[in-house]
Amino acid sequence: MCGIVGYIGNKPAKDILLNGLSKLEYRGYDSAGVAIRNENGFDIIKSKGKLENLKNKLKDKNLFGTCGIGHTRWATHGEPTEFNAHPHNSYNENVVVVHNGIIENYLEIKEKLVTYGYTFYSQTDTEVIAKLIDFYLNETNQNPIQAISKFMLRVTGSYALAIMFKNLKDEIYVARKDSPLIIGICNNENFIASDVPAILRYTKDVYYLDNYQMAKISTNSTIFYNIDGMEVKKKLTHIQMDLSSAEKNGFEHFMLKEIHEQPEAIEKTIKSLVKNEDIFLDRTGITNDFLSKIENIFIIGCGSAYHVGITLKYVFEKLANINVQVDFASEFRYRNPVLLKNTLLIVISQSGETADSLAGLKEAKKQKVPTLGIVNVVGSSIAREVDYVLYTLAGPEISVATTKAYSAQLVAGYLLAIKLAECKNKINQITRKELIKDVIEIPDKISVILKRQNEIQMLSSKFVNVKNIFLIGRNIDYAVVLEGSLKMKEVSYIHTEAYPAGELKHGTISLIENNSLVIGSISNINLAEKTFSNMLETKSRGAILLGFLTKDIRSTICDYVFEVPQINPLFANSLVIVPMQIMSYYLSVLKGNDVDKPRNLAKSVTVE
Ligand code: F6R
């Protein structure tokens, strides 16, 4: 999704903005631009496509301005053209704006502004922002805070804004609603960004702007305002993330680096919740008494986070014998979800900023049920909206395709399920200890798989030209093939489908032809024969069979097998997903795709 950077200080802004934008590239974008102050106004330079194009345009330009804003745009309103790229401006560059988010009522506002004589050069909602603020600037006798505040009251939708005014040379203004924005503080210079990696190189001391807040940022000061224009005080946060987590550290791609970081991400998450073989949820604010009264669980999320929810449904049901429903956040919000008494709503999100998940959460809050977020990004919107937050400690995830955050979410969920089962007296002490031990062993078992990366690379090279991949599994194995299928299609662009093993014969089997690849995941010996039978049904129609099996399961029918270590079947997803991630990675590399930034995709989907 879109990215924002801003700088005001004593150094030329150009390189700082470009560096910041390059650190936001991972979010996905299709055009980029900067506005840098000059003696009379601004140099606004934009380009379509990769940041490299913008860099080339800026290479020979003598831009020495020490104040500027920059943007990477992921097109929503209008195509990815130079005209539609940010920054946008009102006439005469009176107001120059970069924007993340969506203004829902922009067309209606645009029509009004046209009646006041404004003309528009782009198809974007952001140009409307620049012109509306300009309009209010005139109405408020050139008072920027009042003008922005009026804008905030007038528009619906979401926004993080960085704004420069032609006549206010030493200031950048920012405002936010439902789209993240941080201000990095340093000596004699300040930074603005939509995401931490953009400014990590310069400072770790940041302010998180809250919804309906604004700030006036100059070289030496930052003043915050609420929507009424009253000054507010905010707490400075010191970010724990280090620079190396935003670098590739010798790996060719972030995706591979993050796949290899999984044992550490999981271990950190476990250690934050388990002490002396017991689970403590104190950090989340959840008490044992609270858990003992929970009778229903509703899980929402998008994409991979939704797949974590599907896995956890099986785990919660098995361990805590509790009713669990899982829904796509984007669907949940537009139906009539009935959240029964004593329901806990769990929202799962790496970024904590996914618009659909945030909207689903707000819907649940309207029904007044307690809400718990399993979130990776500290201080993110979802983390702040939920009643309780269980942080995964996966560290920053740069690759668009999630790997380590997915794995950390799984273990956070397993531990929550064990705790719930304990509080509801559904498991005895011995079982609880065994289950916790099983979870603690996951990182080492993943490390064993990671050492066999070459085997999966070899396998991938055999399948790089297949047109269709079908992945099947039963029970928890169905949940893992959902994620494996998503991972493969999003980075390799090969068409994949995931099915419950028994469901294929009800229609989809008609797609199986000679050399279709069918991947079966089997981690529960009690269900193995059934899934093998379903795989055989496809083999007799020409399919090639690849099995991802736990050590205890023997196959006589698979053409290829990759064995993962033995594990409690409840937690098998954590192992089986790893070879699937590695295979997705190599299929993508072998096809020459942009692994970390697959086409059309964005990290942190902040629009509906
Ligand atoms: C797939 C992927 C997406 C995200 C989804 C939710 O690899 O990364 O499917 O899982 O967009 O994102 P978060 O977890 O940030 O809410």
3-state secondary structure of 233: coil
Q: 40-54, 244-258, 302-316, 393-407: lowest mean pLDDT where?
A: 244-258
Phi, psi for residue 363 in degrees, rounded to 5:
-60, -45
Closest CA to 363 of 391, 330, 395: 330
Query: Which pair of structure tokens corresponds to residue 455?
Result: 């085997």
Q: What's the rounded Cα separation, in Å, for the pair 222 and 218?
A: 6
Q: What's the pLDDT tens digit per position in 533-548?
A: 999 999 999 999 999 9
- What is the predicted pLDDT for the residue at 248? 83
- 325 sits in which H/E element: strand 323-328
What mean pLDDT comes out for the span 496-504? 95
Q: What's the pLDDT tens digit per position in 556-566?
A: 999 999 999 99
Q: What's the rounded Cα separation, in Å, for the pair 48 and 265?
A: 36
Q: What's the pLDDT tens digit per position in 214-251?
A: 999 999 999 999 999 999 999 999 987 776 777 788 89
Q: What's the rounded Cα separation, in Å, for the pair 177 and 174?
A: 11
- 100 sits in which H/E element: strand 95-103
Verify whether ligand 1 is closer than 6 Å to residue 485 (CB atom): no
* Closest Cα to atom 1 of ligand 1: 401
603 CA from centroid of ligand 1 (Å): 7
- What is the predicted pLDDT for the residue at 91? 81
Judged against a pLDDT cut of 80, whether residue 604 lies above it is answered with no
Tokens 């700088």 correspond to 7
Query: Which pair of structure tokens corresponds to residue 558?
Result: 């698979």
* Closest Cα to atom 3 of ligand 1: 303
pLDDT-derived band of residue 28, with 50, 70 and 90 as boundaries? Answer: confident
Judged against a pLDDT cut of 80, whether residue 581 lies above it is answered with yes
DSSP class of residue 298? Answer: E
Phi, psi for residue 378 in degrees, rounded to 5:
-65, 135
Contact indicator for 215, 174 with CB cutoff of 8 Å: yes
What's the alpha-carbon Rg for the chain, to the nearest Å? 25
**Comparing 122 with 75, which gets the higher pLDDT?**
122
* Closest Cα to atom 10 of ligand 1: 304
- What is the predicted pLDDT for the residue at 497? 96
- What is the predicted pLDDT for the residue at 608? 72
- C-alpha count within 13 angstroms, C-beta hemisphere, residue 393: 13
Closest CA to 373 of 399, 354, 345, 394: 345
- What is the predicted pLDDT for the residue at 312? 98
Q: What's the rounded Cα separation, in Å, for the pair 52 and 482?
A: 35
Verify whether ligand 1 is closer than 6 Å to residue 158 (CB atom): no
Q: What's the pLDDT tens digit per position in 72-112?
A: 998 888 888 888 999 999 988 999 999 999 999 999 999 99
pLDDT-derived band of residue 529, with 50, 70 and 90 as boundaries? Answer: very high
What mean pLDDT comes out for the span 32-57? 95
How far is C-alpha 546 from the geometric centre of its chain's CA atoms?
Answer: 30
- What is the predicted pLDDT for the residue at 579? 98
Q: What's the rounded Cα separation, in Å, for the pair 496 and 518?
A: 10
Query: Which pair of structure tokens corresponds to residue 471?
Result: 């992945």
Q: What's the rounded Cα separation, in Å, for the pair 394 and 405?
A: 5
Tokens 């916790």 correspond to 436
* Closest Cα to atom 6 of ligand 1: 302
Q: pTM higher than 0.85, yes or no?
A: no
- To the query of whether residue 67 is one of the catalytic residues in this protein, the response is no
- To the query of whether residue 489 is one of the catalytic residues in this protein, the response is no
Mutate to test the pocket of ligand 1, among 255, 304, 348 (most ligand atoms within 8 A of CB): 304
Alpha helices in 50-105 (DSSP H): 51-59
pLDDT-derived band of residue 434, with 50, 70 and 90 as boundaries? Answer: very high
- What is the predicted pLDDT for the residue at 606? 73
- What is the predicted pLDDT for the residue at 103? 93
- What is the predicted pLDDT for the residue at 161? 98
- What is the predicted pLDDT for the residue at 379? 80
Please give the share of the chain, as a percent, with pLDDT higher than 70: 100
- Residue 406 CA: nearest ligand 1 atom is 10
410 CA from centroid of ligand 1 (Å): 14
How far is C-alpha 129 from the geometric centre of its chain's CA atoms?
Answer: 26
Q: What's the pLDDT tens digit per position in 319-346?
A: 999 999 999 999 998 888 899 989 999 9
β-bridge pairing 371-375 and 388-391: parallel
- What is the predicted pLDDT for the residue at 380? 86
Judged against a pLDDT cut of 80, whether residue 1 lies above it is answered with no
Query: Which pair of structure tokens corresponds to residue 386?
Result: 């939920």
What mean pLDDT comes out for the span 35-44? 94
- Residue 307 CA: nearest ligand 1 atom is 10
Contact indicator for 576, 327 with CB cutoff of 8 Å: no
